[in-house]
């Protein structure tokens, strides 16, 4: 063991600055020992553009780009801010460097939408994937678009019309849809422009809307093909729609049966009472008739059915098939008629007699009062039930049985299950495969019709004067439908189209291939880009959207529409609560961009784990804004310490340093060998994490290397070479390592932080390509583990001395002595460090 004694001092206060002037002759260990963080400088801009106002013009090159991505370096000037709109030339797929495309279909946000954190999350993650694979040389296509959002859009326009004193009921269907299209043209681009502000590198020349003509044709074709295969049918069902104890007299007797119901106003639609055949309380009444209250003596049969729950209520069930899904199927099984007592606006119709025209709730109140007067009301008690409400307006939705169109899902689901089982489709994280399998294994038929005016009109025509259940025509357009009707019913026939539209999810289920030209299998985009590579979305729509796309993709193209499904979690507030207007905890991404910058927001969102919810806080955003600032300031330091661009010998010396062969790395000085070796390790691990979609790991590793290794240690260590009188060749090594390391850091971070990294990249000399299309760093580059270990020991030494000075409150300018006890090997390489302002006493054992 040996002991190394150091007499430590600091000098002028400038030594505490983060960046030293070129006149300062600091050396490696001195800089490290007395380094003190200066107050961080504010960002040039709080949002996405960074203006390099501090940079000397002689260090900068023009950012004028040609179409092939090469930049003209003839001008020494740089524009005050980088024109990111010019980036769009690179958003289109380029097959020059590869033939295996990476394709992502953007989840189409509602055309009525405004940017929220869920959008910011999927844009960030998908853009990371696309930018990474673009730099890897793969042709990349990120296909954007918006959804027509049937319910939401119709509601928005109805409210707009109401503010003008106009009701939809006063308009024809064509007039209303014309107003919706006008609204869409005026406001529909809002969400797209907001997504662009996040830096989304989509191919905007291929942007789609689910009501585009080509996509609408795809929807019609899908409906017709499913119908031709017998997978679409029409059926009565509940529209999404909604304990009183009442006595029913048994006809011809003095006995009463008491019925418990949650909706007494539907008794006008009762067609029977039912009891369980094993219920001894009511066995004597089976086969007799009961009198429905307040209906002027209308009789209904008392029937037995094993499905009646003896334990619910009184064990007597009123059957109202026009207002309950289960009652409907029971009535069909028993051959009972169907009575509907309610209009679609929630008022009672003529079947309700004297109650006709009353609102359902008003009718309920009036009916109960009259039942109490007549002694037929037994009791009313609290009962917890699930009342369906409109997602948009909050109104109670009445279950009304009406004709709907359904898709038979079981045969489609079977193939989708096999896709995951065979490994043709991989879901990330894997645990969601169980949820996917459970849903598809227990799938029910899909009701695809909606009672709206805005959307894809169901391609079904009925024959005037014929029974709609039996006589209808499925066709691609009205002319084809009329031609079919003429052939079947004669020239005098009249037809009319089904008034309903298709569920918005129906068109969304075709999104990965309808946007590429399907059903035209010869379309260039379909041939080049289908099947797609990745589907990224929130885990909450795994069934509503993802599973349906898989089923439809296999059905219509014979292929799984994408190879991977990446599911992100929800964005929650700092306390882990779901964001809601009620709680007042909604974080607006546009406000966040203005305060913290786009890159800081994107980097923060990327730190989550697939499938896990992410708690978003101001503290995280502030920290990552500081990270952006640190990156900016590091670029500033490097640019200030590179040779004059006109100094050809200096640049030749700098560029002669290569780091892709083992000898060149091993021959570097300790601090340079350490940082280059650490960088090469980082490139390998980050690339592996990118390939596994571990984006949070990439972000954390790169953050730690940049801030903890490069900025805090190597930049400080480099000042000894840059400012010491060791000659230009020594400085050139440090300059080369600074530039090489920083370039690769920018490449690793570019998918996360495209604005600041591209801006800094453009400011560096001799840029031949924009960063967005620059090649990804090579992997498996040389590294020296011995140098890493040696420098880590040196770091431990410096930290120990810093801690000792801090512990004893040593004045920054005061000299102290330190004894280092270490092995001969450690003492030797520490002693070999050029520490001109230190006094060394080497005392050997």
Q: How is residue 604 written in tokens? A: 């923060």
Q: What is the pLDDT of residue 65?
A: 29
The 8-class DSSP code of residue 543 comes to: I
User: Given a cut of 60, is residue 315 above it in pLDDT?
Assistant: yes
User: Given a cut of 90, is residue 192 above it in pLDDT?
Assistant: yes
Distance (Å, whole) CA 102 – CA 98: 10
Q: What is the pLDDT of residue 726?
A: 64
DSSP of 708-768: IIIIIIIHHHHHHHHHSSS-HHHHHHHHHHHHHHHHHHHHHHTTT-HHHHHHHHHHSSS--
User: Given a cut of 70, is residue 751 above it in pLDDT?
Assistant: yes
Contact indicator for 596, 613 with CB cutoff of 8 Å = no
User: Given a cut of 50, is residue 12 above it in pLDDT?
Assistant: no
- The CA-to-CA distance between both ends of the chain, in Å, stands at 7
Q: Which of 505, 270, 266, 238 is nearest to 397 (CA)?
A: 238
Task: Specify the higher pLDDT residue, 687 or 380.
Answer: 687
Distance (Å, whole) CA 41 – CA 803: 26
What CATH number belongs to 244-380? 3.90.740.10
Regarding beta strands 614-615 and 571-572, do their DSSP bridges make them parallel or antiparallel, or are they unpaired? parallel
User: Given a cut of 60, is residue 792 above it in pLDDT?
Assistant: yes
Neighbour tally for 189: CB within 10 Å: 14
**What percent of the chain lies above the pLDDT cut of 90?**
63
User: Given a cut of 90, is residue 481 above it in pLDDT?
Assistant: yes
User: Given a cut of 50, is residue 29 above it in pLDDT?
Assistant: no
Q: Interhelix angle for 410-421 vs 432-441, to 10°?
A: 150
Task: Specify the higher pLDDT residue, 88 or 271.
Answer: 271
User: Given a cut of 60, is residue 316 above it in pLDDT?
Assistant: yes
Distance (Å, whole) CA 511 – CA 506: 9
Q: What is the pLDDT of residue 11?
A: 34
User: Given a cut of 90, is residue 24 above it in pLDDT?
Assistant: no
Q: What is the pLDDT of residue 399?
A: 54
Tokens 């140098």 sit on residue: 787
Q: Which CATH superfamily is 634-783 part of?
A: Isoleucyl-tRNA Synthetase; Domain 1 (1.10.730.10)
Q: Which of 196, 204, 209 is nearest to 89 (CA)?
A: 204
Q: Can you tell me the mean pLDDT for 356-380?
A: 92
Q: What is the pLDDT of residue 725?
A: 55
Contact indicator for 610, 567 with CB cutoff of 8 Å = yes
Confidence band for 538, pLDDT divided at 50, 70 and 90:
very high
List beta partners, residue 13: none
Contact indicator for 494, 464 with CB cutoff of 8 Å = yes
Q: What is the pLDDT of residue 469?
A: 65
Q: Which of 88, 225, 206, 217 is nearest to 524 (CA)?
A: 206
Looking at 133-147, 317-331, 566-580, which range is the least confident one?
A: 317-331
User: Given a cut of 90, is residue 386 above it in pLDDT?
Assistant: no
Task: Specify the higher pLDDT residue, 104 or 728.
Answer: 104
What is the enclosing helix (H) or strand (E) of 552?
helix 548-557
Structural domain spans, the chain: 99-223+504-607, 228-236+402-412+433-502, 244-380, 634-783, 790-840
Q: Can you tell me the mean pLDDT for 271-283?
A: 94
Span 227-261, pLDDT tens digits: 999 999 987 664 444 489 999 999 999 999 999 98
In words, the CATH class of domain 99-223+504-607 is alpha beta
Arithmetic mean of pLDDT over the chain? 84
Q: Can you tell me the mean pLDDT for 318-336?
A: 83
Neighbour tally for 308: CB within 10 Å: 21
Span 486-498, pLDDT tens digits: 999 999 899 999 9
Task: Specify the higher pLDDT residue, 111 or 802.
Answer: 111
Confidence band for 197, pLDDT divided at 50, 70 and 90:
very high
User: Given a cut of 70, is residue 554 above it in pLDDT?
Assistant: yes
Strands (E) located in 391-517? 401-407, 426-428, 446-447, 449-450, 460-463, 472-474, 495-497, 501-502
User: Given a cut of 80, is residue 705 above it in pLDDT?
Assistant: yes
Q: Which of 129, 132, 183 is nearest to 158 (CA)?
A: 183
Q: What is the pLDDT of residue 468?
A: 66
Contact indicator for 74, 784 with CB cutoff of 8 Å = no
Confidence band for 83, pLDDT divided at 50, 70 and 90:
low
Q: Can you tell me the mean pLDDT for 694-710?
A: 97
Q: What is the pLDDT of residue 243?
A: 86
Looking at 60-74, 376-390, 523-537, which range is the least confident one?
A: 60-74
Span 820-840, pLDDT tens digits: 788 888 887 777 764 433 333
Distance (Å, whole) CA 3 – CA 822: 6
Q: What is the pLDDT of residue 182?
A: 96
Q: What is the pLDDT of residue 833?
A: 64
Looking at 430-444, 504-518, 581-595, 704-718, which range is the least confident one?
A: 581-595
Q: Interhelix angle for 715-723 vs 728-749, to 10°?
A: 150
Task: Specify the higher pLDDT residue, 382 or 393.
Answer: 382
Contact partners, residue 784, CB within 8 Å, separation at least 6: 665, 666, 673, 674, 677
Looking at 58-67, 200-209, 225-234, which range is the least confident one?
A: 58-67
């Amino acid at each position: 063991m040996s002991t190394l004694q150091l007499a430590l001092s600091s000098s002028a206060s400038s030594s505490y600055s983060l960046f030293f002037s070129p006149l300062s002759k600091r050396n490696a260990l001195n800089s490290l020992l007395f380094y003190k963080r200066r107050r961080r400088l504010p960002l040039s801009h709080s949002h996405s553009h960074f203006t390099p106002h501090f940079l000397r013009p002689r260090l900068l090159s023009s950012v004028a780009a040609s179409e092939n991505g090469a930049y003209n370096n003839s001008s020494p000037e740089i524009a005050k801010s980088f024109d990111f709109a010019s980036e769009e030339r690179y958003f289109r797929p380029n097959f020059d460097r590869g033939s295996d495309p990476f394709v992502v279909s953007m989840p189409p946000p509602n055309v009525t939408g405004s940017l929220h954190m869920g959008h910011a999350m999927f844009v960030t993650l998908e853009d990371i994937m696309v930018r990474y694979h673009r730099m890897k040389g793969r042709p990349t296509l990120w296909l954007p678009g918006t959804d027509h959002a049937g319910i939401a859009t119709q509601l928005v326009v109805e409210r707009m019309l109401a503010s003008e004193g106009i009701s939809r009921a006063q308009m024809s269907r064509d007039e209303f849809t014309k107003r919706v299209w006008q609204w869409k043209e005026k406001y529909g681009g809002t969400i797209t422009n907001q997504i662009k502000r996040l830096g989304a590198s989509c191919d905007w020349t291929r942007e789609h809307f689910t009501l585009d003509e080509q996509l609408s044709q795809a929807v019609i074709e899908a409906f017709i093909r499913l119908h031709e295969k017998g997978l679409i049918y029409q059926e009565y069902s509940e529209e999404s729609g909604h304990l009183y104890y009442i006595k029913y007299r048994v006809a011809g007797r003095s006995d009463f049966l008491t019925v418990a119901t949650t909706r007494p106003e539907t008794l006008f639609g009762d067609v029977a009472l039912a009891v369980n055949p094993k219920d001894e309380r009511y066995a004597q009444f089976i086969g007799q008739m009961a009198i429905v209250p307040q209906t002027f003596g209308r009789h209904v049969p008392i029937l037995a059915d094993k499905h009646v729950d003896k334990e619910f209520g009184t064990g007597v069930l009123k059957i109202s098939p026009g207002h309950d899904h289960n009652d409907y199927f029971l009535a069909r099984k028993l051959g009972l008629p169907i009575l509907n007592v309610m209009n679609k606006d929630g008022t009672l119709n003529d079947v309700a007699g004297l109650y006709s025209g009353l609102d359902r709730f008003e009718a309920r109140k009036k009916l109960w009062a009259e039942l109490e007067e007549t002694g037929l009301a037994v009791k009313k008690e609290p009962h917890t039930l699930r009342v369906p409400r409109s997602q948009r307006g909050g109104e109670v939705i009445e279950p009304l049985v009406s004709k709907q169109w359904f898709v038979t899902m079981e045969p489609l689901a079977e193939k989708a299950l096999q896709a995951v089982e065979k490994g043709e489709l991989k879901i990330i994280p894997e645990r969601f495969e169980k949820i996917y399998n459970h849903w598809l294994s227990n799938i029910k038929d899909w009701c695809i019709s909606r009672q709206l005016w805005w959307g894809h009109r169901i391609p079904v025509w009925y024959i005037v004067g014929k029974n709609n259940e039996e006589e209808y025509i499925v066709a691609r357009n009205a002319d084809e439908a009329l031609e079919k009707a003429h052939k079947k019913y004669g020239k005098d026939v009249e037809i009319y189209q089904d008034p309903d539209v298709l569920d918005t999810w129906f068109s969304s289920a075709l999104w990965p291939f309808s946007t590429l030209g399907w059903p035209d299998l010869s379309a260039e985009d379909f041939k080049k880009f289908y099947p797609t590579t990745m589907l990224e979305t929130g885990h909450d729509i795994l069934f509503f959207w993802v599973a349906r796309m898989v089923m439809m993709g296999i059905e219509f193209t014979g292929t799984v529409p994408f190879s991977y499904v990446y599911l992100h979690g929800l964005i929650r507030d700092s306390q882990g609560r779901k964001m809601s207007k009620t709680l007042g905890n909604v974080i607006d991404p546009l406000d966040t961009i203005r305060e913290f910058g786009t890159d800081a927001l994107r980097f923060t969102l990327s730190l989550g784990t697939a499938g896990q919810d992410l708690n978003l806080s101001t503290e995280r955003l502030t920290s990552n804004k500081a990270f952006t600032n640190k990156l900016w300031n590091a670029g500033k330091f490097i640019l200030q310490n590179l040779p004059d661009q006109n100094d050809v010998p200096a640049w030749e010396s700098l560029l002669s340093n290569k780091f892709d062969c083992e000898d060149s790395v091993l021959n570097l000085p300790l601090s340079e060998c350490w940082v280059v070796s650490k960088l090469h390790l980082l490139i390998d691990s980050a690339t592996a994490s990118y390939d596994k979609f571990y984006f949070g790991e990439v972000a954390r590793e790169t953050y730690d290397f940049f801030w903890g290794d490069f900025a805090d240690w190597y930049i400080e260590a480099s000042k000894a070479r840059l400012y010491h009188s060791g000659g230009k060749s020594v400085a050139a090594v440090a300059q080369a390592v600074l530039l090489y390391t920083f370039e690769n850091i920018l490449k690793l971070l570019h998918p996360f932080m495209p604005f600041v990294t591209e801006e800094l990249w453009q400011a560096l000399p001799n840029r031949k390509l924009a960063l967005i299309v620059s090649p990804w760093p090579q992997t498996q580059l040389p590294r020296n583990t011995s140098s890493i270990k040696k420098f880590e020991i040196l770091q431990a030494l410096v930290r120990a001395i810093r801690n000792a000075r801090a512990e004893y409150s040593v004045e920054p300018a005061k000299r102290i002595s330190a004894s280092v006890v270490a092995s001969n090997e450690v003492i030797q390489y520490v002693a070999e460090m050029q520490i001109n302002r230190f006094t060394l006493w080497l005392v050997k054992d």
